[in-house]
Structure 1
Amino acid sequence: MSGQMSKEEVKKLFNEFDNGNGHLSLAEIDRAITHRYPQLGTNKKAIMRAYKEADSSGNGFVELREFRKIIQLLHHYDELSKLFEELDTNDDHRISYPEFKKGFSLLGEDDTDEQFLRKEFNSIDTNRGGYILFDEFCMYMAKRKVN
């Protein structure tokens, strides 16, 4: 699955995923990706995040007009999920400050100033839970990409 598909290829893939009602539920997308693209199918966090973002109408389904976006987002969030997993060295599905500090260079940064790192960590931890969750990490990486 590539983000650079023609309109015809996108429509054909949508029809493969669709059960015939013209829109895709999360279950349809998950099942199709798991079956057709097993390399992405195991990454449930990426699938869920891409699904939520692609549903621009907010109706809980992905229609054909939103489908190209989910294809692009799946690749993007799959890559972010892999990076998140590298930072999450104890595999508890969240990044602690020590993990963040140790892995900050994985984000392409070399600043090791303790005050800066703590401030950066706290800005990512928007729910103030003391850990960075995947959604918070995605938001942070999106802001970094824009700036």
Structure 2
Amino acid sequence: MTAPGISQHGHEYQLDSRTKQLWSRLDLQGKGELDLNGLQLGLHNLGHPMKNADHLLQQMFQEADTNRDGKIQFHEFQSFVRQAEAQLWNLFQSIDTDKDGKVDKLQMERAFERAGIAVPKDRLNKFFNHVDNDNDGYISYLEWRLQCETVKDGPKGNELIIATAKRMYQTGGMQSAYRGVTMGLIGMFPYSAIDMSVFEFLKKTYKSYVSRRQGIPEDEIEPGNLVTGMIGASSGAFGATVVYPLNVLRTRLQTQGTHMHRATYTGIWDVAHQTLKNEGVRGLYKGLTPNLLKVAPALSITWVVYENSKRFLRLE
């Protein structure tokens, strides 16, 4: 089924025409194919909001690359766009329960309820009025799909920063600029204490072991860079693991209500309660492995530089 007021042939023709136009603006070098970097460059050239959404962009690329050759040809891109258009239309139809080709505010509210999403009245009104371009009290399919069009002339640079600051202030006042700061401070102090304590403990244990093995005083033993790096990586990884749940909760507080994290929270205890209720304890450790892959080598280098700097400056 096609959008209301448009024949099947006319709808497909318009869609293919838009697809070709978009492809020509993405395929900057005119090769007839795009790799992931080329797609990102094309989106950046268009000023599209997905240009910096690496994870979503990679997921989209993998779905479009049906022959798995690491590149998207036009026919693959066209097929992907058609599928996306069909999904968009199906979603519109699921909201348009009386099938009159338009969505009113009550239908939108009930759709959110069916999805289990609690949307405050003021946010619903703001969203509805934003989509309802002609202010007739209904959202047509054309207005619906316009929300998914490419953003061509959005704010950039300082203008974007100012616009974001204004939007943050309007939605949450000055408090919105400090979302998650409590969790950040709570996590910072124990992390530093754990990291330094574990490092000194492991360093002392190593020196004691070498002292007994070689029969020399501990004061004469200085761990080399390799040992120092291993100890630093271990202490940093341990500290990061202990405080990681706090970082997860802080991040969710800061990103709540965004495209990447739809849920909203009333505060620290609410985000903790919802996370444990919906995902269990494992939800507090989502993303721990890549975090450790970053933290361990970073702390290893930090401690090596720190220990060498102390010796160079004779601060011991």
TM-score between the two structures when normalised by the length of structure 2: 0.27
Aligned partners of 1:87 and 1:100 also within 8 Å: yes
Superposed, 1:18-97 pairs within 5 Å as 43-45=1-3, 47=12, 50-56=15-21, 67-97=75-105
TM-score between the two structures when normalised by the length of structure 1: 0.53
Query: Cα offset for 1:137?
Result: 1.3
Aligned partners of 1:49 and 1:77 also within 8 Å: no
Question: CA, structure 1 residues 110+73, in 2 after alignment: closer, same or farther (shift >3 Å)?
Answer: same
Question: In the alignment, which residue of structure 2 is the partner of 1:19?
Answer: none
Q: Does 1:111 align with 2:118?
A: yes
Larger Rg: 2
Structure 2 counterpart SS, 1:44: coil
Q: Distance in 2 between matches of 1:49 and 1:110?
A: 34
Q: Does 1:132 align with 2:158?
A: no
Question: CA, structure 1 residues 49+145, in 2 after alignment: closer, same or farther (shift >3 Å)?
Answer: farther
Aligned partners of 1:93 and 1:134 also within 8 Å: yes
Query: Cα offset for 1:51?
Result: 2.7
Q: Distance in 2 between matches of 1:132 and 1:84?
A: 10
Q: Which amino acid aligns with 1:83?
A: L
Task: Quote the sequence identity (%).
Answer: 17
Query: Cα offset for 1:132?
Result: 0.7
Q: Distance in 1 between matches of 2:19 and 2:106?
A: 33
**Unmatched 5+ stretches in structure 2:** 4-10, 23-31, 33-73, 152-257, 261-316
Q: Which one has a larger percent helix, Structure 1 or Structure 2?
A: 2
Q: Deviations over 1:33-84 (max 9, x none)?
A: xxxxxxxxxx323746633421418xxxxxxx66543322110010111110
CA RMSD of aligned residues (A): 3.1
Aligned partners of 1:88 and 1:99 also within 8 Å: yes
Aligned partners of 1:50 and 1:70 also within 8 Å: no
Question: In the alignment, which residue of structure 1 is the partner of 2:314?
Answer: none
Instruction: Give the aligned length.
Output: 97
**Unmatched 5+ stretches in structure 1:** 1-42, 58-64
Q: Does 1:98 align with 2:106?
A: yes
